[in-house]
Structures are given as structure tokens and as C-alpha cells.
A and B are shown apart, each in its own frame.
Chain A
């Protein structure tokens, strides 16, 4: 699998430039974290990668991009069973589908018997894993995860983050992991890219970005990350 590269990607909404000339490499088998405030253009970049919004610039090495969305309560069709949702992206003969659905559900640590249930019968964390299984079914070369844990409880978030890391290890998956939570991004990502007002402010290895950031904006973001036992202080 070749590495994916985003070259000079720009997205315009009328006169507003949501993503401004962004170039970013996503090396093979790695997780690239993308952080920024709302309005920074990180979700628009994700949508451009999967072709949901028109853009200029080129994306190479990402012919099969799949995406997992933020809200697990909105990203599964309430009228379709879990199995039907997961099977939707499969390019397989009908007979082979059930087995593949079971394999995919097992891959995301879900009981294959859940294939017959409807999304409303599942918890938020289970739904998010179904969405992951659906995306993996298309055998993506790049997976875009847009705020996939921000609607989940802390106790469930950990399981989804661990799953992303183990999928990278087992399947050699490349992931663009988007989140506003730097602590979460630091935990899963190898490389962190910081985005502000449509532009990339800083890109570097996760440890370096979170311990020795160069850009003042990255520093401000780090200062604002809530930590257990650390009281909030005013902006420096």
C-alpha cells in the first residue's frame, strides 16, 4: 500500500476559503492526527478526501478512502439492520456476504449475532464500531475518522481508541484521525497536524507537538486541554 499524500488541497464555499492550500502526507500504516477548533476546516478537509465536497488540488495514493462520522446515532440508517448496513459496501456475491459481515463484526470486537439487530438496540460505542466495520468492509487504503469519540462516554471512548490502534497494527491501516481533543489525538496518533482557519499551522511527531510545540497556537491549544487535578488558568 503506497502512502497517501494530500497536495495543495483547497475547498471554497463561495468566497469563503474553508481549506486553504493544505499539503499533508499520511505515511503507510500510520495514524495522522488532525486537531483544530471548530471552523478550522478539519471536517471540510475530511469531506473533501472522501468526495463529499468539491475541491481543487490532488490526493494521491488514496483511491479507496472511507470515513467514520462523529455521531453514531445519526450515521446508521435506523431502518436497516446492522448486518444490512455493514453489507452495503461489500462488492461480494450474496452468498459470501453473511460470512464477511460476521468477519467484520468480529474484527471490531462485536458479537456477529448482532447482525440481525437494529441500531436503536445498540449503545453508542457499539454503533460506532458498526460504522467502523462498515467502512472496513470497503477495504479502504485510508480511513478518515472524524471526531469518532466525541459523542461517546469516556468509558467507551477508550475501547474505540484501542480498536483503532489494533486495526492499524493488524490490518496495516492508514488513518487520518480528526479530533478537537489533543489528549485523545496524542494517544492514538504518530504524527499530529494542527489546523487553524483553513491552514496547517504545524505538523510533527505526536510527542514533539505535545511536549515542545513551535507554533504559539499549538501551545494555546495544549494549555486549554483539561487535566484531572489541574485548575483552569487564564490564557497566557
Chain B
């Protein structure tokens, strides 16, 4: 709950705590003086005995305001309960009813939301009779549509989840789906918004009482006191201001707290540019396109997903980086691109196109990466901005980094789209990303990378979301791009990597364990590389034997065993493997290299 430490939510928390204490203790402490009728002190202004004056029966107004806290809060609480009791079930209905019923429920919510809330409250209050009961019902009914709409939206996001589908296939009843699957998974945002609604109810009830529709004498809440005090506002302003301030403070308190909680719940990791390079090894070679020395990525709390990685890429070379999820392959790519998410810390030496990244200013870094590095990510659906035309997005690269006039940049965008073999590029450039298929989007992103004159293209699982036939086209496209730029292809699939690359780097638990040419893959020496290849079924795999698997799980990025990280899963491991960490020598980090005989 770090969010509560910032000033606004903290103020809210203090105000709410104060109001709740008052509600609890108020009537006991000041109940007597609030009820004491004093004929000699009717309608007085402020005095030492009565700081906010007295009312028409000579009762002390300050005491009455303090005592009224309990009733005001109680009524707001009841109104919120009524609102939740109506709004929540109504909002869940569209997610669980069959299509026709769902449409009817959604339509009802739409109609109710369109109706002005306060009008609904007043109408209900008048119909159900003046007094606290009518006001509570009215306020509750007025807040229900808002809550129903919110619940409907939140529930819709969960209703299509696979686990809800699975429950439906299992024959779980609709009611049970709503209670066990939908509601628990939207509980936090709902609770937070109910806190906000509570503040709103408090205000609304005060408003109703103020209009004479709410609490009737001899009962009194803040709104009633405000109503009584307002007739004297020109003579004794404090009589009206007192309850007004109380209402204001309490409502502000609940709203600040609710917003603080909502913010805390919706906190997402920000992704600023990670620190590029640290003080560590700076011996990265300056020849070649990329030279990485001793690269590590660490996160606070002790997770080190990338450990001491060395990587060299020569001009025109296509290097594949293979590993399971959690092997650190993607973070290595992000570190080169300066995209490690906050609060990750990158150390080690990176030399890109002959320039030591640690020696560059932030502006120079941005320019170097913007023009000589292109990155292609896994999900082509989220890499392009859905609101902008494809051509404009591509042109932006050149207008920003090469200061190219917009018209010229657009022409270049069309040319690049043609180069990645998108049919009718002029027309396509004017379209939005949603009209592109997954494969076409990935082409457009490669085209975006080609807008500058990249020396290095880093493609992180570029084909994982695509079909095999489209996958092959994208790989061929990358190979063509490699005539002018070096390519790093990151993939979990060793077969995909071997289709395109010259050289393969195998990573495990954040470290490079083997480096070999594609031709050597069938003669790989590291047990992990061999296991990866054996576990990948192809069109010649023997169907009568069980598929090879790798027992166990990779170590967590928090653990850094003394020995080889793969030893617990390795059939060839000896006791030495568990105590001595093999270093990467002659392209392999293993104490017991295997031979293929």
C-alpha cells in the first residue's frame, strides 16, 4: 500500500478515520448537549459557550453537527448497500445470461444510466414517502445504474476468459460461474469504486435532506442541519457553514481514499529507458556490428535473469539466440535496445556499430539506436498503434531521426512496404493496422525497421504468433534484410532458428551455454542443446517411442547455484558439475561435453 503514503490518499485516510471516530463516539460525548433545549439561547450566533451558535430551540449547533455524523454516515452506508444490492446483480447478468437475456439486461442498464441520477433519487424519495427511508432508497436506486454499468464492463473482461469457458463446458451453473469465477476476479476495482460511491451517497443524501426530502425532525443529519441553518445564512453564517464543512470534509475524505486505493490497484510497471551500461567490463570489441561483454540484468530483490553474457555479431551475420522461457534471451535483446523495464539494472559493456554505449549521452544513444538498430517483437498486434495509419507510423521514424520532410518520408514508407512484399503498398500505407493480417503487420514492422539504415535487426520471437507458412515468409524476409544488416533472431524453437541462422547461441538460466554453427547443431556437444533438439518433434520423429523430455524445471532467476545451472536436469552430470561452474571456452560451457557417435 505504498500509494497511501502520497499526500492526497493519506489526507483521505486521516479524514475518514476522523469521521469514523466521530460517528462512533459523537453521540456518547455530545449527545446530551445536542439535545438540551435552552429557552434563553434561541437562534444565537457564535459565542464562547456555543462556538457555532444555537438553533431555534437553543440547542448547541456544534454538538449537533458532531452527533449528526453517525446518522449521516449510517444513511450513506445503507444507501450504498441498497445501490450495491441492486447494481451488482444487474451488472453481472449480461455476463452470465444466455444471449437474449444478456441483451435485455444490458439494455436495462443503458436505459437506467441515461436517466439523471439525482432526478431518480428525488422521484423515488417522494414516491416512497418523505423521511430517512425514502432518501436512502432514492439514493441507493440512483447509484445502482452507475455501479451496474461498472460491473458490466468489468465482468465482460472476465466473461470471455478461458477459465469461464472451461467452467461452462464442465456444466457449471450460471449462478455459480457468476459467484465463483466472475465476481472474485473483479472484486478489487469494484470495492474501490464502492468507496467512491459511498462518498457520493453522503453528498447526495445531504442534498436530499437539504431539499427537505430526507431526514425529518426530530431526527437530523448534516443535510437537515444545513437546511435549518441556511435560512439564517445572512445573520449567522456559521450555522450553515458548519454542516457544509462537515459534509465537504467527509465526502472529500472518502473520495481521496477511494481514488488512492484505485490508483494503487491499477499501478502498472512503468517502462522508462533502462540504464544503458554500467561501469563493469568495457572491453567490448569495437569491430563488428555488436559486441557485448559481461552483460548482466538485475532486478531489485535479487533476481538476475541475465548473467555475464558475451555476444558478438559480425556484419551481415544472422545469429540465433535459443532458450526456454526464463533463459534471459529476450532481456538480453531488450538490454541492447535500452528497453529493460524499470527497475531492471543493466551492467556490462555494449558496443554497437563501433560506439561504446556507456560513453554516449542520452541524446546520442537515442539517435544511434533510432537509426542503426531495428527491433521486431513477438506480437504484431500490439506493436503498431491502432489509431494511426500504417504509412504515417513508418514515416515518423524518418521524420524524427533523419529529419526528413514528411512527404519524402511517406514515399519512403511506401517503398519499404513494397520491399517487404506487401501488395498495393500505396493503398496499404493509407490504411489502419486492424485491416492488416498478423503476417502483414509483422512485415510492416520489419519495414519500419528498414526505414532507417539499420546495421542490426533484433527480432524477438517474430514468428511465434504466426502460422508456419507465414512464418517461413517472414524468415525469408529477414534473410533478405540480412544482406544489408546483421540479424539477431531470438526464439524458443531451435528448428526455427536453424532455418535462418548462420550461428546459434544457446542460453540457459541467463548464461550462454553453447555457441555453434547451424551445421554443427546435429553434433551439438552440450547436453542441454542436445536435449532441446531431441525434444523438438519433426517429421521424422519415431512415433512409437515416447518423445524425449527434459525432466525438472529451470532454476529461478533468484538462484545462482555454485555449479552448472543445468546439472540437476542433466543425465551426464557428476558431483563436480554441482560445485564447479563451467566457463564458456571453445564455444561450450560444460565439464562433460558429449560426442555424437
Q: Give A residues with C-beta under 8 Å from B.
A: 37-38, 50-52, 65-67, 69-71, 74-80, 85, 88-89, 123-124, 131, 134-135, 137-138, 153-159, 161-162, 165, 180-184, 186-187, 206-207, 210, 220-232, 234-235
Contact = CB atoms under 8 A, between A and B. Distances in A.
B537 A232 contact: no
A227 B468 CA distance: 12
Interface residues of B, number: 57
B431 interface: no
B543 A181 contact: no
8 contacts: A66-B169, A75-B163, A131-B166, A156-B549, A161-B537, A161-B547, A186-B541, A227-B499
Given A38-B467, A77-B185, A227-B539, 15 more contacts: A37-B469, A38-B466, A75-B165, A79-B184, A88-B170, A134-B170, A138-B171, A158-B550, A182-B539, A187-B547, A221-B468, A225-B538, A226-B499, A230-B499, A234-B476
Contact of A230 (B185, B498, B532): B498
Nearest to B546: A162
A229 B498 contact: yes
Given A186-B537, A224-B468, A134 B166 contact: yes
B472 A228 contact: no
B500 interface: yes
B494 A228 contact: yes
Contacts of A181: 468
B470 interface: yes
Contact of B167 (A88, A180, A227, A234): A88
Interface in B152-185: 161-163, 165-172, 180-181, 184-185
A232 B475 contact: yes
Interface in B434-472: 438, 466-472
Contacts of A85: 163
B492 interface: yes
Contacts, number: 170
B37 interface: no
Interface stretch (B9-17, B236-244, B516-524): B516-524
A74 B160 CA distance: 10
Interface centre among A38, A159, A182, A232 (most CB of B within 10 A): A232
B495 interface: yes
A52 B167 CA distance: 11
A184 B223 CA distance: 71
A37 B470 contact: yes
A172 B162 CA distance: 26
A122 B471 CA distance: 30
Contacts of A66: 169-170
A180 B438 CA distance: 15
B548 interface: yes
Contacts of A65: 169
Nearest to B475: A232
B163 A77 contact: yes
Given A183-B539, A228-B533, A74 B471 contact: no
